[in-house]
Amino acid sequence: MLARWLSALVGIPLFVALCVGPRAGWQWAVLLGAAVALWEVAGTLRRSGRPVSPAVAALGLAGPSLPLAGHLDGEPVALAAAALWALAALVGEVARAERTGDMRAAERVGNGLLCAGYVGLFLFVSHLRDGVEPMRAGLLPAMDQGAALLLTVALAVWATDSLALFCGRAFGRRKLAPRLSPNKTVEGGLGGLVGAVAVGAGAGHLLLASVGSGLAIGAIAGVLGQMGDLWKSAIKREAGVKDFGAIIPGHGGVLDRFDSLLFVATAIVALEWLGVGLTPGG
């Protein structure tokens, strides 16, 4: 428990500094986190006896690389490079199967795509920081909309995790998903949802000048944040491991800490792209 608190003492201020700092700094940090996450999930699958194509898995880094390429108007070039990389990876698997006699090419590619798809969700975490319009009101008037949205989402996700843990320990009776995560309870899940909505509303008011936006973000975080955690648990159960890694003392690996944020960010950014804006004027 002490390791968890010490990690939070260092990690939270660093996370907030990246949130409110330059967009490029956040995007580089997300890309680095995605690279570590890719190493974690691919290594977990391999250690459990599942073959993984490293070249196919590496495609997962194409997504979180795109925002950085966008600064140079290079997104079409980046997408073309990813397509050519995918073709080369498949050709390489054909050659490997012929050379080694290992006929698990499809399994290697499939597991590689699992890694790539999971880690590719970091693209949406990166895009949360895209706003450039200054806030019209709020706790920090100089903060742009992207930083305000990112902090609101992060606070709602943290509230989900913390309140679910607290309510589960204090009031938990009925198991939520005993095969995937035996310690999770229905009461804990409901507590996490209520906490996310409450914190989302408060953060929305202070940071986005919109309680409605905060409520919507909190509801998404309260539901999909917990689904992201269960998805992580499903992979770990299948692989027979407790954590993806140990890079964050007391928490495990990058995916152990940011699994919920991946699902929540994906939903919120996808809604933004579809025109369902969750920020004032969005």
Distance CA 154, CA 233 (A): 21
Determine, yes or no, domain membership for 120.
Answer: yes
In 3-state terms, what secondary structure has residue 103?
A: coil
Query: For residue 70, what pLDDT is reported?
Result: 65
Mean pLDDT computed over 198-209 = 92
Q: Assess if residue 144 is contained within a domain.
A: yes
Contact 227, 197 (CB under 8 A): no
Mean pLDDT in residue range 41-61: 93
Q: How many domains does the chain have?
A: 1
pTM of the model: 0.89
On whether residue 282 sits in a domain, the answer given is no
Q: What angle do CA 91, 52, 239 make, to 5 degrees?
A: 160
281 within some domain: no
Q: What is residue 19's predicted lDDT score, i.e. its pLDDT? A: 85
Residue 279 lies in a domain: no
The answer as to whether 123 is a domain residue is yes
CA dihedral defined by 4, 247, 130, 263, rounded to 10 degrees? -80
Range of the structural domain that residue 113 is part of: 2-273
Task: Evaluate whether 206 touches 139 at the Cβ level (below 8 Å).
Answer: yes
User: For position 5, what pLDDT does the model report?
Assistant: 60
* Sign of the CA dihedral with 97 first, then 102, 103, and 108 last: negative
Query: Does residue 280 sit within a domain?
Result: no
